[in-house]
Amino acid sequence: MNTDPAPHEYRLLESETIHEGRVITLLRDTVAMPAGGDSERDVVRHPGAVAVVALDDDGQVVLLRQYRHPVGQYLWELPAGLRDADGEPPLETAKRELAEEAELAAERWSLLTTHFSSPGFCDEMVLIYLAEGLSPVGRPDGFEVEHEELDMTVERVPLADAVQRVFDGGIRNAAAVVGLLAAAQARATSPRLRPVDAR
């Protein structure tokens, strides 16, 4: 099956930086349309992110409860983080985030899915890994828990219960929804997964 992006006739005519923040950059792009004319698009450039479905030997998954200011509420999420360390491969970012947020390491890693979280306006791609063979580990040297992470709680729940929380509306974070459903399907059907270093 060919997964290469299809060729297209849309052309970028102009790109103006509207805002450059700590994490995101907002651009206003002018794009030529294939049928003629052009259109402006507000585009958020994002470094990308990773998330980890950490599954223990008892079939329990690690969930984090963290406050998220843009939606004004606590969300149940997977261990996750930005790909904002220069040159760090995404798998290494996933390993680091699992250690920082859940104080865990894993013996086995698989790439479950990749997805664009909101491609209508943002180029953020999230790589979701399955981590198995969990063991306790200390947080990386130099890492300090701060801000919302000081208020974060960690819980382990059976994977089936976490999936039910998705359908009940208790888990709404996109990466958590995608990752939990993908992990449940992977355990049920053993699909062929991409290499762990795939993008």
Catalytic residues: 149
Q: Are 29 and 40 in contact (CB under 8 A)?
A: yes
Burial call 18-49: b when 16+ CB within 10 Å, e when fewer: eeeeeeeebbeeebeeeeeeeeeeebbebebb
| 67-76 contacts, C-beta under 8 A, 24 or more apart | 67/148, 67/151, 68/148, 69/148, 75/171, 75/172, 75/173, 75/176, 76/165, 76/170, 76/171, 76/173, 76/176
Half-sphere CA count of 56, side-chain side, radius 13 A: 13
Distance CA 188, CA 168 (A): 21
Strand, helix or coil for residue 41 = strand
Q: Which of 171, 180, 146 is nearest to 65 (CA)?
A: 171
* Residue 45 in tokens: 């450039």
* Residue 87 in tokens: 């040159």
